[in-house]
Amino acid sequence: MSPVAPPRLSLPELAQQLRVDAVRCAAAAGSGHPTSSMSAAELAAVLLAHHLRYGVARPDHPANDVFLLSKGHASPLLYAMLRAVGAISEEELLTFRQPGSRLEGHPTPRLPWVPVATGSLGQGLPIGVGLALTGASLDHLPYRVWVMCGDSELSEGSMWEAFAHAGHAGLDRLTAIIDVNRLGQRGPTRLEWDTGAYARRIGAFGWDVIEIDGHDIDEVDAAYRAAVEVTGAPTAILARTVKGRGAPAIEDRNGYHGKPVPHPDEVVAHLGGVRDLRVPLIPPDSDAVPYRFPTGEAELPTWQVGEKVATRDAFGDALAALGTVRGDLVVLDGEVSDSTRTGRFQEAHPERFFEFYIAEQQMVAAAVGMQVRGWRPYVATFAAFLTRAHDFVRMASISRADLRVAGSHAGVSIGPDGPSQMGLEDLAMFRALHGSTVLHPCDANQTAALVSATLDVPGISYLRTMRGATPVIYPPGEVFPLGGSRVLRASSEDRVTLVGTGVTVHEALAAADRLAADGIAARVIDLYSLKPVDAATLREAARQTVAVVTVEDHRPEGGLGDAVLDALAATGPVPRVHKLAVRDLPASADPAGQRRAAGIDADAIVAAAREVAAG
How wide is the angle at C-alpha 469 spanned by C-alphas 432 and 456, nearest 5°?
45
Smallest separation (angstroms) from its own copies to the CB of 364: 12
**How many of the chain's residues bind its own copies (CB under 8 A)?**
112
Residues 71-100 binding its own copies (CB under 8 A) are: 72, 97-100
How far apart (Å, rounded) are the C-alpha atoms in residues 33 and 48? 21
Give CA–CA dist 98/105, Å, rounded: 9
Q: Which stretch binds its own copies (CB under 8 A): 82-90, 170-178, 289-297, 383-391?
A: 383-391
Spatial distance between the Cα atoms of 77 and 214, rounded to a whole number of angstroms:
15
Q: Using the rule CB under 8 A, which residue among 577, 600, 605, 606 binds its own copies? A: 577
Options 230, 487, 589, 607; binder of its own copies; rule CB under 8 A: 589
Q: Does 104 bind its own copies (CB under 8 A)?
A: yes
The span from the CA of 552 to the CA of 532, in Å, is 17
The full 3-state SS of 228-288, as one line of letters, equals HHCCCCCEEEEEECCCCCCCCCCCCCCCCCCCCCCCHHHHHHHCCCCCCCCCCCECCCCCC
Set 104, 156, 360, 507: catalytic member: 360
Residue 54 in contact with residue 281, Cβ under 8 Å? yes
Q: Does 312 bind its own copies (CB under 8 A)?
A: no
Q: Is 493 designated active site?
A: no
Our measurement of the distance from residue 597's CA atom to the centroid of its chain's CA atoms, rounded to an integer in Å, reads: 35
**Minimum distance of its own copies from residue 578's CB (angstroms):** 8
Smallest distance, its own copies to C-beta of residue 69, A? 12
Query: Which CB sits closer to its own copies, 77 or 488?
Result: 77
What span, in angstroms and rounded, lies between the C-alpha atoms of 573 and 569? 7
Q: Rounded to an integer, what distance in angstroms lies between the CA atom of residue 470 and that of residue 448?
A: 14
- For residue 126, say if its preceding peptide bond is cis, omega within 30 degrees of 0: no
Query: Contact with its own copies (CB under 8 A): which of 2, 101, 452, 544?
Result: 101
Q: Residue 55 or residue 264: which is nearer to its own copies going by CB?
A: 264
Question: Shortest distance, CB of residue 549 to its own copies, whole angstroms?
Answer: 11
The answer to whether 325 contacts its own copies (rule: CB under 8 A) is: no
Considering the rule CB under 8 A, would residue 418 count as an interface residue with its own copies? Answer: yes
Determine, following the binding rule CB under 8 A, whether residue 208 of this chain makes contact with its own copies: no
* Interactions with its own copies, residue window 262-291 (CB under 8 A): none
CB of 471 to its own copies, least distance (A): 23
304 vs 457: CA distance, rounded Å: 27
CA distance 152 to 179: 9
Phi and psi (nearest 5°) for 563?
A: -65, -40
- Binding-site member from 60, 265, 266, 417 for its own copies (CB under 8 A): 417
- Return the half-sphere exposure (C-beta side, CA atoms, 13 A cut-off) of residue 420: 1
Rounded to whole angstroms, the Cα distance separating 374 from 402 reads 9
The CB-of-121 to its own copies minimum distance in angstroms stands at 6
Amino acid making up residue 97: R
| Beta carbons of 37 and 348 less than 8 angstroms apart | no
Q: Which residues contact residue 19 at a Cβ distance below 8 angstroms, ignoring those fewer than 6 apart?
A: 37, 38, 41, 80, 245, 246, 271
Q: Is 429 helix (H, G, I), strand (E, B) or coil?
A: helix
Distance CA 477, CA 28 (A): 59
Q: Does 207 bind its own copies (CB under 8 A)?
A: no
The distance of closest approach from Cβ of residue 166 to its own copies in the complex, given in angstroms and rounded to an integer, is 12
Residue selected from 391, 540, 603, 611 as contacting its own copies according to rule CB under 8 A: 391
Q: Is 159 in the site for its own copies (CB under 8 A)?
A: yes
Using CB under 8 A, which of 305, 358, 536, 614 touches its own copies? 358
- Member of 142, 290, 343, 476 binding its own copies (CB under 8 A): 343
Site string for its own copies, 361-380 (x = CB under 8 A): xx------------------
Q: Does 383 bind its own copies (CB under 8 A)?
A: no
DSSP E strands: which ranges in 35-136? 66-69
137 touches its own copies (CB under 8 A): no
CB of 233 to its own copies, least distance (A): 14
Binding region for its own copies (CB under 8 A) out of 221-229, 296-304, 319-327, 420-428: 420-428
Residue selected from 395, 473, 496, 535 as contacting its own copies according to rule CB under 8 A: 395
Interface with its own copies includes 120 (CB under 8 A)? Answer: yes
Contact letters for its own copies, residues 553-572 (x by CB under 8 A): --xxxxx-xxx-xx-xxx--
Instruction: Give strand ranges (E) for 370-412.
Output: 376-382, 403-408
Stretch that binds its own copies, among 56-64, 151-159, 222-230, 466-474 (CB under 8 A): 151-159
Cα–Cα distances in angstroms (integers) from residue 519 to residues 136, 219, 498, 513, 514, in the given order: 65, 84, 15, 10, 9
The Cα–Cα gap between 249 and 456 comes to: 54
Which range touches its own copies (CB under 8 A), out of 266-274, 350-358, 483-491, 495-503?
350-358
Euclidean distance between CA atoms 130 and 138, whole angstroms: 11
- Span 485-544, contacts to its own copies by CB under 8 A: 531
Out of 357, 374, 469, 484, the residue judged to bind its own copies by CB under 8 A: 357
Nearest approach, Cβ of 26 to its own copies (angstroms)?
Answer: 11
Span 5-34, contacts to its own copies by CB under 8 A: 29, 31
Residue among 102 and 610 whose Cβ is closer to its own copies: 102
In this structure, are strands 376-382 and 66-69 parallel, antiparallel, or unpaired? Answer: unpaired
Contact range with its own copies by CB under 8 A, out of 36-44, 63-71, 189-197, 482-490: 189-197
**204 scored as a contact of its own copies (CB under 8 A):** yes
Sole binder of its own copies in the list 4, 7, 294, 420 (CB under 8 A): 420
Measured in whole angstroms, how far is the alpha carbon of residue 140 from the centre of its chain?
23
Shortest approach of its own copies to residue 317 CB, angstroms? 17
161 sits near its own copies (criterion: CB under 8 A): yes
Rounded Cα distance, 169 and 57, in Å: 32
For its own copies, the closer of residues 298 and 597 by Cβ is: 597
Q: Which is nearer to its own copies, 46 or 148 (CB)?
A: 148
Residues 433-462 that bind its own copies (CB under 8 A): 433-435
C-alpha 84/C-alpha 49 separation (Å) is: 10
Determine how many CB atoms are found less than 10 A away from the CB of residue 287. 6
Residues taking part in catalysis: 360
